[in-house]
Structure 1
Amino acid sequence: MREDAAEKRRSVLQSTQLCTVEFEVSGGLIGIGATPFGDRRLGFITGGRFFGPRLQGDVLPGGGNWSHGGRLSADAAVGTFDARSVWRTHDGALIQLSYTGRSVVPDAVRALFADPAAPPVDPSRYYLRIAPVFETSSETYGWLNGILAVGVGERTDFGVRHVIHEIL
Structure 2
Amino acid sequence: MEKEKNLVLDSGLKTRHLCTAEFEVGGGLFTVGASPFGEQRVGYITGGRFFGPRLNGKILAGGGNWSRAGKMADGRHVGTFDARTMWQTDDGAMIYLIYQGRSALSDDVRADFANPASPDVDPARYYLRIAPVFETSDPAYDWLNAVLAIGVGERTDFGVRHQIYEVL
Q: TM-score, normalised by structure 1?
A: 0.92
Find the aligned partners of 2:149 and 2:17 in 1 and give their Cα distance. Answer: 9
Q: What letter is aligned with 1:24? A: E
1:8 aligns to what? none
Task: Name the count of aligned residue pairs.
Answer: 158
1:121 and 2:131 are equivalent in the alignment: no
**Residues 1-168 of structure 1: pairs in structure 2 closer than 5 A:** 12-168=12-168
1:5 aligns to what? none
Across the aligned residues of Structure 1 and Structure 2, the Cα RMSD in angstroms comes to 0.8
- Decide which structure has greater helix share: 1
Larger Cα-atom Rg: 1
Q: What letter is aligned with 1:126? A: Y
Q: Structure 1 residue runs of 4+, over 3 Å off?
A: none
Find the aligned partners of 2:74 and 2:107 in 1 and give their Cα distance. Answer: 9
Offset at residue 73 of structure 1 (A)? 3.2
Q: TM-score, normalised by structure 2?
A: 0.92
Offset at residue 59 of structure 1 (A)? 0.1
Partner deviation per Cα, 1:22-81 (whole Å, 9 max, x = no partner): 000010000111111110000000000000000000000000000001001353100000
* Matched-pair identity in %: 65
Q: Please list every run of 5 or more consecutive structure 1 residues that lacks an aligned counterpart in the other structure.
A: 1-10
